[in-house]
Amino acid sequence: MNIDSDAAYKRNRATRQRVEMWVSEFGKYQMFADGCALLLHYYNDQDMLRSDYWTLVELHQRWSAVVNATFFWGNRHQIENFVPFADGIVADLVAEMLRRKKKMPLTQVERPKNWRLDAKQVKASIDPIRVFEYYLPDMKKNGGKTYKATCLWHKDTRPSLVVYPEGACHCFSCLSEDEYVWSSDRLTRISDVKIGDTLLSRTGINARVISSKTYRSNVISVETRVFRNIPIYMTPDHPNIIARKSDISSSIPLFFTVGKTGRLSTQIAYKDKPHKNIKLSLVRADDILEDDYLVFPVYPDNVRKDDPIDISKYIRPYTRGPRSKRIYSLPINEDTAWLYGMWVAEGNATKRVVRFSLHKNEADTLGRRISDILLRHFGLKSTIGISKQSNGSYVTCCRTDLEIGLKSIFGSGAGNKRIPSESLFWSRNIQRSFIDGYTAGDGNSVGSTVTVSKDLCYGISAMRIQCGIVSSSYRRNGYIDKNEIFHRDSYISTLNSENTPKEFYSKSDGIEYYFSRVESLFRDKSLKNVVDLEVDGDHTFLAGFGLTHNCNFHTDIFGMIMNQEQCDFATAVARAQELGG
C-alpha cells in the first residue's frame, strides 16, 4: 500500500470507506471504538506511519484479544469477519514501514510472518477464571456460569463486577429507562440517548457517551425532598455522588442531630456561621440511607452566557412567495426570557400561528406585555382578542419562523413542553425572568405551579436550583372527578424556605451544590428495563434528579493484567499464560 502515490490513494478510497463503515458499526462498544479510531488514524496519517514498528505490532495483538471477548457483545460472526480485515490493513502498514526504512520498492518487501503473539491461542489454552482470581480475591460464584467480585475501578462495597468464564468482565451500573438525563440540547429520556451524544457533567462541560447497553434488572426506588412521589429508579450497584448526613452535620454549624430519629434540625444561633467544605462520597444505590443527600451542581458565573438560541436548522429556505426577513435565532434577555416562560405555561401553536391563551382579565396586563415584547424584540405585530364563548382572551401572532422556533426549542402542547439545556447556563436574572413568566401563566399567588409534563417539571426545578430558588415538586396521581372527567398525572412545584435541613445550598471542593435529603428508599424486586451508560471526561453526568456517576468498566484477562500491572500487551499475554496455565 504505497500511500505516497496519488493513484494508490484513490484506489484505496473504497478500503478507507470500509474502515469508516466499521468504525460506525462498532462505535457503540468502547473497545471497538478505541481500536477502530486508532486504526483509522494510522491508516490516514502519514506521520503516524513513520512511528515505531512495534506500536503497530501491539495494535495487531489487541485485535486478537478483542475477538476473544466478542461473545459478550453478541454478533460474533460480524466481528470475527472484521478482525482478519483489520489484520490485513495493519500488515500492509508494517510492510510499508519496512519499505521506507530500507528504502526499497514495496514489491521487494515481504509481508512479515509470525510477527504477532497469538493471544487467541494463549487464551484457549488457559483457564481465564484462575487469572481473574489472582486479581479479584473475593470473586465468588454468581449462579449459572458467571462470577461476581467487587469492582477495582470504582469504590465498590458490594460485588458489582460480573466475570464470565470465557475471559471477560463487566461492571454494571444503570438507571431505569424512564429516567431523564440532561443532554447538550435538552432533558432526554435515558433510553433515547445514543452513542456519540453528549451529556452535561458536574462542571457543565459536555461529556460524550461512549457506551450504552439495555438489560433487565431489579431496581431501588429513591425518593428525595425535591421530587416527592416522583421516585428515581436505579440498579442497586449504580454509583451516586451523595453527602452523608454525618458529613453534613459536621460541616454546617446551622444543623445538628436531634432525637431518636437522628434527623437534622436547625440551630438559629449558628445561622450566620460559615460552612465548612462538605465531603461528597461515591456510593452504590443500595448503600444510600434515608437522610443522606443527593446533590445537584450549580454552574458558576464563568460558564454562564446569554447567547441567542440558534434555530436556523429548523427553518427551511424560501421556495416561493414573498421573502420577508427570516428569524434564525431566539434572542435571550429579560424580556424575551419572560416571554418564553409564558410560552411554556400558556403558549400553543398551529400552522404559521403563535397563540398565548389567557384569562379575559389578563388581556390588558399580560396580553399587552406579550404584544410589546413581540414588537420590540422580534419586530412582529400581534392581535389581542377576547373570547365570546368563554372567560378567556388570547394573543396571536402570525409568523412561521417564530412558530417553528418556539415549538422546536420549548415544545408545544401541555404534555410536551420543556426547556433547553442552554437555559441552565443563562445568567441568574435571565433565569428568574423566565420563571416569573412561567409562574405568571401557570402559577398562583404564592409561586406554586402545576404542569402535566414531567420533562417540564424537572426542567423548572433545575432552573430554580441554578438561580438560587429553593423549591420542591411532587406528583399528583391522575383521577376522575365528579363530572366523570379524567385528569392526567400532574406535577406541582412549590417554593420552600431557605437553609433548612431538607434542602439547602453549600459548597464542596469549590463547587456549589444544591443538597436534597433522601426521604425514602424501597427495593423493587420486579424486573425493569434499565440503561447502562458510560461517558468520558470525569465520568459524571447530570440526571433529572441530580448528579450521578458511571463505572461501566469492561475488559478481558489481558486488559485486566495490563491495567493492574501497568505492562504492555505482550507482557500481559505472557503473564496470563503463567497465571492460567
Q: What is the DSSP string of 116-160?
A: S--HHHHHHTS-HHHHHHHH-TT-EE-STT-EEE--SSS--SS--
Tell the burial category of 510 from Cβ atoms under 10 Å away from its Cβ (0-12, 13-18, 19+): exposed
Helices marked H in 202-260 = 245-251
User: Could you tell me whether strands 161-164 and 168-171 are parallel, antiparallel, or unpaired per DSSP bridges?
Assistant: antiparallel
Residues forming CATH 3.90.580.10 domain(s) in the chain: 128-172+556-580
Residue 181 is placed in which grid cell?
438525563
Cβ neighbours of residue 516 under 8 Å, at least 6 residues apart?
224, 225, 226, 293, 294, 295, 296, 502, 503, 546
Amino acid at 454: K
Q: From CA 310, how far away is CA 327, in angstroms rounded?
A: 10
How many other CB atoms are there within 10 angstroms of residue 275's CB atom? 16
- The answer to whether domain 128-172+556-580 has CATH 1.10.3720.10 is no
Q: Tell me if 53 sits within 8 A of 222, measured CB to CB.
A: no
Q: From CA 19, how far away is CA 532, in angstroms rounded?
A: 27
CATH architecture of 175-298+503-551: Beta Complex (2.170)
Residues forming CATH 2.170.16.10 domain(s) in the chain: 175-298+503-551
- The answer to whether domain 303-448 has CATH 3.40.640.10 is no
Residue 158 is placed in which grid cell?
458490594
Per-residue pLDDT at 42: 43
- Is 0.75 topped by the overall pTM? no
Query: pLDDT tens track of the chain, all 581 residues?
Result: 333 334 444 444 554 454 455 444 444 344 444 444 444 444 444 444 434 444 444 444 444 444 443 333 333 344 444 444 455 554 554 455 445 444 444 344 343 343 344 566 777 788 888 888 888 888 888 767 788 887 776 555 567 677 888 787 776 667 788 888 888 888 888 888 888 888 888 887 788 887 777 777 788 889 998 888 888 888 887 878 899 988 888 888 777 676 656 667 776 555 667 778 888 888 878 889 888 999 999 999 888 999 999 999 888 887 777 778 889 999 999 999 999 999 999 999 888 899 999 999 999 999 999 999 999 999 999 999 998 888 899 999 999 999 999 999 999 888 899 999 999 999 999 999 999 999 999 888 788 899 999 899 999 999 999 998 888 888 988 888 888 888 888 999 888 877 788 888 888 888 899 999 998 898 887 778 888 777 776 678 888 778 887 655 667 777 778 777 777 666 777 788 888 76
Residue 231 is placed in which grid cell?
421516585
- Give strand ranges (E) for 192-305: 198-200, 206-224, 227-228, 232-234, 239-243, 255-257, 264-266, 281-284, 293-297
Q: Tell me if 296 sits within 8 A of 516, measured CB to CB.
A: yes
Length of the chain: 581
CA 291, chain centre distance (Å) = 26
Per-residue pLDDT at 380: 93
Q: Tell me if 411 sits within 8 A of 427, measured CB to CB.
A: no
Cβ neighbours of residue 300 under 8 Å, at least 6 residues apart?
511, 512
Q: From CA 421, how far away is CA 414, in angstroms rounded?
A: 19
